Amino acid sequence: MDFFKVKEINSRLTTLATLTGEILYLLQGDQRSVLVDTSVGVQGLHKLVSSLTDKPVTVILTHGHVDHAPGAPEFAEVYLNPVDNELYREHCQLDVRKGYLEMGLAPEIALTIEQQLVPPEPDFKFHDLSDGQIFDLGGLHIECYSLPGHTAGTMVLLIPELAVLISGDAANKSTFLFDTFSASVETYRANLVRAQKRLAGRYQHVYITHHVMEVDVNILQNLIDVCDDIMADQADDIPFDFMGNHAFIAKKADNEFNRQDGIEGDIIFSKQRIWNKQLN
């Protein structure tokens, strides 16, 4: 059973979509390649990536969650914001990964994939990924910027030559903002505003890392507006449960998080994590 489905977008960009809905991005410069995220950690990712590029591969993790980081140990050079190291140590464990697979896949498929997981390496040595860091791939650059909220160490990646922002889980159709590793809605809004100002006019496309590749180029502003509604107690407050967490969807949406009003960008939040004072 193939866990990854490969699609070449252009000579610089290839996507690897997973059975569980994540999208990994392989970016190829003239001299080096970068793989963005590694999914839940299914064996064979390194071999697959090596078949798609003949250049040295660096891995950049957008954050440390179960569905993005556990495949790191297959690679020699992996960058992660160190703020998310503790999160990675927790989420690379087999019980967390199996729970995630069993939540999203049919039982027989989940069991098959579980048998292919790379062993957890909670003490894996990452290279530190920092705000403003730039990777030169030769004719293609990746600029990394901090956008905390979904996790404290979440990063977004700008590829100027492609006019693309990979916002990943930092800003997507259903930004999760409800567990102990996430920021308050108040802080997330401030971080969105800061990122919007820093990146203004520098991209024409926004790519995310779940289910669909491209979303509305105005998604940062859309999410700022959702934050405002939550903070003003104007959200729709649709109950939502996920891996033992009870939360609320801010805007009415279908099962694939397409909002009823047609606007892209939603937040799933905890009412105990709206304001900074609630976290103290």
Tell me: pLDDT of 158 over 90: yes
Tell me: pLDDT of 279 over 90: no
pLDDT score of 79: 98
- Mean pLDDT, the chain, whole residue set: 96
Mean pLDDT of 75-97: 98
Mean pLDDT of 146-167: 98
Summarised one tens digit per residue, pLDDT across range 95-153 is 999 999 999 999 999 999 999 999 999 999 999 999 999 999 999 999 999 999 999 99
Asked whether 30 and 141 are in contact (CB, 8 A), the reply is no
pLDDT score of 229: 98
Cα–Cα distance for residue pair 167/12, rounded to 1 Å: 18
Cα–Cα distance for residue pair 25/223, rounded to 1 Å: 23
For residue 232, what are the CA distances in angstroms to 35, 226, 274?
Answer: 39, 10, 10
Summarised one tens digit per residue, pLDDT across range 259-271 is 999 999 999 999 9
pLDDT score of 71: 98
pLDDT score of 1: 67
Summarised one tens digit per residue, pLDDT across range 248-259 is 999 999 988 999
